[in-house]
Amino acid sequence: AQTVTQSQPEMSVQEAETVTLSCTYDTSESDYYLFWYKQPPSRQMILVIRQEAYKQQNATENRFSVNFQKAAKSFSLKISDSQLGDAAMYFCAYTHMNNNAGNMLTFGGGTRLMVKP
Amino acid sequence: DAGITQSPRHKVTETGTPVTLRCHQTENHRYMYWYRQDPGHGLRLIHYSYGVKDTDKGEVSDGYSVSRSKTEDFLLTLESATSSQTSVYFCAISDTTGRNTIYFGEGSWLTVV
Contact (CB<8Å) A43/B106: yes
Interface test with A, best of B104, B108, B109 (most A CBs within 10 A): B104
Distance (Å, whole) CA A111 – CA A87: 10
Distance (Å, whole) CA A38 – CA A49: 9
pLDDT, mean of residues B12-33:
95
Contact (CB<8Å) B30/A110: no
Interface test with B, best of A35, A45, A90 (most B CBs within 10 A): A45
Contact (CB<8Å) B56/A100: yes
pLDDT of residue A79: 98
DSSP code of residue B113? -
Contact (CB<8Å) B88/A105: no
Compute CA A112 distance to the chain's CA centroid, rounded to the nearest angstrom. 12
CB B47 within 8 A of CB B29: no
Whether the pLDDT of residue A111 is over 60: the answer is yes
Distance (Å, whole) CA B78 – CA B56: 16
Inter-CA distances, B112 with A89, B13, B27, B87, B103, Å: 25, 5, 32, 9, 27
Q: How confident is the model at residue B100 (pLDDT cuts 50, 70, 90)?
A: low
More confident residue, B96 or A50: A50
Query: CA of A105, closest CA in chain B: separation in Å?
Result: 8
pLDDT of residue A3: 92
Whether the pLDDT of residue B98 is over 60: the answer is no
Whether the pLDDT of residue A98 is over 60: the answer is no
**List of domains in chain B:** 4-112 (2.60.40.10)
Residues of A with CB under 8 A from a CB of B: 4, 33, 35, 42-45, 47, 50, 91, 93, 95, 97, 100-110
pLDDT of residue A31: 86
A12-30 pLDDT, tens digit per residue, is: 999 999 999 999 999 998 8
Nearest to B106 by CA among A46, A24, A92: A46
pLDDT of residue B101: 76
pLDDT of residue A99: 60
Strands B54-57 and A46-52: unpaired
CB B44 within 8 A of CB B35: yes
**List of domains in chain A:** 3-116 (2.60.40.10)
pLDDT of residue A101: 67
pLDDT, mean of residues A54-62:
93
Interface test with A, best of B43, B60, B87, B93 (most A CBs within 10 A): B43
